[in-house]
Structure 1
Amino acid sequence: MTGRIRSIGRMVGVAAIAASALLLAACNAIPQSGPVNVGLSDLTKGDQLVSYSPPGPAKGASQKDVVIGFVNAASSSQDDYRVAREFLTPEYSSQWDPSTGVFVYEGARPYRSEEDNVAVLSLPGIATVDELGVLTPARPGATSDVRFELAKVDGQWRIASAPAGVILDRNVFRTVWAPRDISFLSPDDRLITETRWFLNGPGMATQVVNALLAGPSEELRGAIRTAFPEGTGLVSNSVTVLDGTAKIDLTGQAASADHGARQLILRQLAASLQSVQGVNRFDLSINGSLIESSAVGWSDGGTPTADPRNTLVLSHGTFGSLLAGKVEALPKLGSRIVEMRPDGVTVAVDRSSAVVRSGGTLTWTDGAQEIEIPTSGSQPLDPSIDRFGYVWSSAKGVGGSIIAVKPGEDPITLAVPWAAGLRPVGIRVSPDGVRLAMLLADGDGSTVRVSGIVRDAHGRPSAITAQGPEQMWTTGAPLDLDWSDAQHFAVLTRVGEAGKVTIGAPRQFSAESGSVAGATRLSGGGSKAFLRVLNADGRLFAGQGIGWQPQFEDVQVLAKVG
């Protein structure tokens, strides 16, 4: 697949609408000459640990040398990309805007001349990052043609037109850009993090605050929010850092926030700024008047999920937690679950209830009573039990809707607008109750799409957000999906006779995590440390180093938690 690029900003939009754009990974476009220098040793003055010093254009450089040199020079943002601008005509140098985003590619970058003074680089894109730091992965194999127009200035070739934004290979991107967790708010005012990518350097605090002001990414709007009043900005368009204190001066719109909203704003700032090196406090002002001074760092406890007892299995007639090589029966629930002859089991995080999948039915139980859970098809998938007590049921091959029901109450059928016509293999709700992940076949491979869950302040779901962009692609046919924590999910796919495990997260790179022969199921366990894989022979595997080691045998069912 090949597309033509005219601007990074346009690429971001195209990638979000049609999964044909670009995605993040790695390559060999590291500047081919010029030293790599150690960055600032005093991190109170900036975050950048490594800086590149690419060369400017050589006298008599060919069109190809100028184009390649310009792309390489984007590795250095010093002095507003001074070196990169040396490859541009004087007129275009003042027009080129590197802040509109990043196109990240991996692999070779073939060069060709198309017409008089027009050059093209064919780049295998792996992601785009927009002006707010939101990363959008690209479908594997997508190649984009990047067009450059050239003109002579005083007898030397220079670029007269190129896409806005910068073009980087993965290795360089991961060196000069960094992911940061930005904290937003759930309807019940819990902190929910989104990953954003920012240019490493003195402007990191400004980028973090601007991301908070802009609000959540498109697919989570309505599911989470920011407490900053609409229209609030920075008075000077920047955040200065002096002696470890970030000086944040907001425009007058912030004055409309009441006391409760201001406390939420302080929480968001304290949590988001804790990842900015060299910042340990912040002063919050409105139009120059100091409102609050606070230390960075905040945690409201989140949703506790990492627990060794989360490895729950059915083995030799006992259902319970696998601890120290022994299955300890789950109080109240274990014996009843065994009697129900499960094909699959989902247990609530607090272990007070479970949903058993047996044949074509789902049954909720708390050990004392049983309630049948409605589903949208004859092949129900393993459901989720969210932190509010809602059971989320769906069926294999039915993507356009999902049912949420609190046992004993009327079910709520929610449309999944972006999934109409899709055939899911797995659907899971994240531990914090904010995201819905769907595992799908994608040609010879698999993909995971993620959207938001809209709720009221009491946790009652009312909608699935309108967008559910692809957040990961991997090789192999889809087998199973689960969240390992509130931000990361694990995917099991079949490659040959093995089950391959891939770890992904919204707006992040995915990473392969080894394979297990004959694997059929996995369970997230609440953290990567407790991720478990079951194979067709009933052997249970746990991760060890870069591989998987057998942990237990004769397992009939590996349960999911939450």
Structure 2
Amino acid sequence: MGADRDRRGGRGRPVRAGVYVGCGALLLVGCASMPDSGGLSGVESTPRQDAQVRVFAKAPRQDASPAEIVQGFLEALTSDDPDYQTARQYLTASARKAWNPNQTTTVLAEGPNHESVRAGDGEGAHEFLYRLGGTKVATVDKQHAYAPDSGPYSRMVHLTQLKKTKEWRIDGLPQGVVMGRSDFQRNYKSVNKYYFASNVSQETGGQLETVADPVYVRKQVDPMTQVVRALLKGPTSWLDQVVGSSFPSGTELKTGVKSLSPDDRNRVTVPLNEKADHVGQGQCSKMAAQLLFTFKDLTPTGVDEVELQKSDGSQLCVLTEVQAEGIASNGTERHADYQYFIDGKQRLVRLPSSGSDKKPEPVPGALGEGDKKLRAAAVSRDESSAAGVSTDGTSLYVGSLVSGGSLGEAVLHSQGKSADDDRLTTPSWDGRGDLWVADRDPKNPRLLLLQKGAGDPLVVQTPNLNGRIEAVRVAADGVRIALIVEKDGKSSLQIGRIERDTKSGEPPAVSIMDPRSVAPQLEEVTAMSWAGDSRLVVVGREQGGVQQMRYVQVDGSTPVGTAPSALTGVKEITASEDERLPLVAHSEEDGIVRLSSGEQWQKVVRDGTAPVYPG
């Protein structure tokens, strides 16, 4: 549980706070004074603090009223106290033993309201009951996994008066923590931990494929150690079926290890328990690679080297960041040579991804140099092949990006009646070289997969997907897929898990499982693209609102930072998993435009549509 405070003013009573400076950090200590009776009270929101500021709450003062105890407890749970030791001082001894603050975190739109609903024995009451209330936004479970949530929140807190001291303490409370959204954003940060894709044989020279598993950890409470402990426990439940960890089951940090941090050589030493004592060098290198990829996302500069130690303190293995990149392929490290789009002559053309001022040129091969007219295309991640959809949306062609290459017959046809709404979507390539596309024919809507972009298409099963697929984008890892799904006039962004059941000598059975909405506040999603290992850029509208562009995480949370600058009439958008590359969009007013970091949208060409990066 926790509180959302606002020391800039607003509803409620002011918070008394003392300020101390020490150890290079500013420590804020606060506890609100509240009456012990009366109506509903709101716990207000705290403005975000600088990264170097840590917030600590006061212990309960002597003779504090029941309302002060509830308020102080909520305040204490939004502080940076590592083990909630101050918060525990507001509880009875038995409640301290029973309460598990790490079980779940409930995020509310505003800080929890608290209202006295019962006091026992009249004026000489020895117990009080308070109701905590609010509107849910999300929950973070014990695996640190974030999930959007909605609906009313209502929980009870019971207080009793201690016999010896006559002081009020909480003796009954819900498990976990509750706080308002602004306090959550101040207290927590999203970090990707990394695992390896399973049942996906990548054509990457024997490299494994990393898969990002985003989790939320407390910013100021040794986030590196928190993330390592979460990594060792294994992937979150949603991802568990399609990824694997190199760490043996039961591997944990060695008993007594309290904190991990880089040394003066930017090396992190990770002592492990006896479960990892007997792993070979190959497996140990993969374990270290998982840590290095995770540390790269955790810190601005990453970590140069990881040393894993056995339970007796001896060295298990050492791996550098460069060596890790030879073990596994990571989406954010792939650098696309070109950006692609369909020009005014309905050809596939390209521009250097570096953002130079060169003019677009037709791609080598029949899709750029031939006479086949296209309305959409996708380029394989190695930029050796491309797939194009005919202008009427009925046919899908695949050709190599080699000058003079010929184009064979269409690999797929749609029978949908309407050229605009009922035929093939823009295709998408995954990291193993397979091609995905949706046929929107109302009589036979299907998600299709062409292995290596050829052969008979496989019909992908979508047992839990409620609606028709309007757009498809597969992640580089080949185990996650982003879909725009239309149902009853509303379109939503869904992330699904790709599961493959492979048997020797038979085509794989492929399914999209457990789709989840990641932008539930948008009732109309019109365009989207992957924009990082666990981030997408989305174009859509809220109910009654105007078109907007924003970033969303695959878990449904909103990343901290600015959204892309506004752009009018966006029809299509593309981004790269390499977040350093610019966004490219098709605007009704300006044609193909590009947005580099720290700049404004720049026009590329007026006559152009359907921009894509490889993938």
Q: TM-score, normalised by structure 2?
A: 0.75
> Which range moved further: 345-354 or 282-291?
282-291
1:326 aligns with 2:359: yes
**Superposition deviation, residue 392 in structure 1:** 0.8
Q: Which residue of 2 aligns with 1:417?
A: 463
Partner SS state of residue 98, structure 1: coil
Q: Which residue of 2 aligns with 1:343?
A: 375
CA gap of 1:433–1:352, structure 2 versus 1, over 3 A, is: same
Choose the corresponding residue for 1:130, options 123, 135, 141.
141
* Cα deviations by residue, 1:24-72 (Å, 9 ceiling, x for unpaired): xx96467934346667559xxxx98332122233444443332222111
1:524 aligns with 2:546: no
Q: Which residue of 1 aligns with 2:325?
A: 299
Partner SS state of residue 184, structure 2: helix
**Superposition deviation, residue 79 in structure 1:** 6.1
The within-5 A match list for 1:156-555 is 156-187=167-198, 189-201=208-220, 203-236=222-255, 238=257, 240-241=259-260, 244=263, 246-255=268-277, 257-274=279-296, 282-288=306-312, 290-294=314-318, 297=321, 298-300=324-326, 302-303=330-331, 305-307=334-336, 309-316=338-345, 318-322=347-351, 324=357, 326-335=359-368, 339-358=371-390, 359-366=392-399, 367-368=405-406, 369-373=408-412, 378-396=422-440, 402-406=447-451, 407-419=453-465, 421-440=466-485, 447-454=492-499, 462-464=509-511, 466-494=513-541, 499-507=547-555, 508-510=557-559, 512-527=563-578, 529-537=581-589, 539-543=591-595, 545=598, 548-555=601-608
CA gap of 1:54–1:138, structure 2 versus 1, over 3 A, is: same
- In the aligned structure 1, how far is the partner of 2:435 from the partner of 2:567? 30
**Superposition deviation, residue 332 in structure 1:** 1.1
Partner SS state of residue 78, structure 2: coil
Q: In 2, are the aligned partners of 1:498 and 1:518 still within 8 Å (CA)?
A: no
Over the aligned positions, Cα root-mean-square deviation in angstroms equals: 3.8
Partner SS state of residue 238, structure 2: helix
Q: In 1, are the aligned partners of 2:592 and 2:609 still within 8 Å (CA)?
A: no
Partner SS state of residue 299, structure 1: helix
Instruction: In structure 1, list runs of 5 or more residues that go unmatched.
Output: 1-6, 9-25
CA gap of 1:146–1:33, structure 2 versus 1, over 3 A, is: farther
Instruction: In structure 2, list runs of 5 or more residues that go unmatched.
Output: 8-13, 26-49, 120-127, 203-207, 400-404, 417-421
CA gap of 1:169–1:560, structure 2 versus 1, over 3 A, is: same
> Which range moved further: 491-500 or 77-86?
491-500
Amino acid at match of 2:15: Q
Partner SS state of residue 87, structure 2: helix
Partner SS state of residue 515, structure 1: coil
**Superposition deviation, residue 320 in structure 1:** 0.7
Q: In 1, are the aligned partners of 2:467 and 2:487 still within 8 Å (CA)?
A: no
- In the aligned structure 2, how far is the partner of 1:51 from the partner of 1:444? 47
Amino acid at match of 1:313: I
- In the aligned structure 1, how far is the partner of 2:188 from the partner of 2:381? 36
CA gap of 1:380–1:48, structure 2 versus 1, over 3 A, is: same
* Cα deviations by residue, 1:470-500 (Å, 9 ceiling, x for unpaired): 3333435121121123332111114679532
* Cα deviations by residue, 1:442-487 (Å, 9 ceiling, x for unpaired): 89976432233245799x9654463233333343512112112333
> Which range moved further: 211-220 or 292-301?
292-301
- In the aligned structure 1, how far is the partner of 2:595 from the partner of 2:257? 44
- In the aligned structure 1, how far is the partner of 2:564 from the partner of 2:241? 33
**Superposition deviation, residue 149 in structure 1:** 1.8
* Cα deviations by residue, 1:525-554 (Å, 9 ceiling, x for unpaired): 454542122233462333365864544312
- In the aligned structure 2, how far is the partner of 1:50 from the partner of 1:533? 39
- In the aligned structure 2, how far is the partner of 1:363 from the partner of 1:305? 26
Q: TM-score, normalised by structure 1?
A: 0.81
- In the aligned structure 2, how far is the partner of 1:206 from the partner of 1:397? 51
Amino acid at match of 2:582: F
Amino acid at match of 2:141: D
Partner SS state of residue 210, structure 1: helix
CA gap of 1:238–1:417, structure 2 versus 1, over 3 A, is: farther
* Cα deviations by residue, 1:423-450 (Å, 9 ceiling, x for unpaired): 3332210123231112245899764322
Q: Which residue of 1 aligns with 2:156?
A: 147
- In the aligned structure 2, how far is the partner of 1:474 from the partner of 1:306? 32
> Which range moved further: 150-159 or 316-325?
316-325
The size of the alignment, in residue pairs, is 530
Structure showing greater relative contact order (alpha-carbon pairs closer than 8 Å, 6 or more residues apart):
1
Q: In 2, are the aligned partners of 1:344 and 1:356 still within 8 Å (CA)?
A: yes
Partner SS state of residue 566, structure 2: strand
**Superposition deviation, residue 226 in structure 1:** 0.3
Partner SS state of residue 477, structure 2: coil
- In the aligned structure 1, how far is the partner of 2:508 from the partner of 2:605? 38
Q: Which residue of 1 aligns with 2:29?
A: none
- In the aligned structure 1, how far is the partner of 2:415 from the partner of 2:448? 7
Q: In 2, are the aligned partners of 1:445 and 1:474 still within 8 Å (CA)?
A: no
**Superposition deviation, residue 390 in structure 1:** 0.9
- In the aligned structure 2, how far is the partner of 1:40 from the partner of 1:280? 27
**Superposition deviation, residue 199 in structure 1:** 2.4
- In the aligned structure 1, how far is the partner of 2:487 from the partner of 2:563? 17
Partner SS state of residue 418, structure 1: coil
- In the aligned structure 2, how far is the partner of 1:145 from the partner of 1:487? 32
Amino acid at match of 1:478: V
Q: Which residue of 2 aligns with 1:66?
A: 69
Q: In 1, are the aligned partners of 2:481 and 2:496 still within 8 Å (CA)?
A: yes
The within-5 A match list for 1:14-53 is 28=5, 32-35=15-18, 41=24, 49-53=52-56
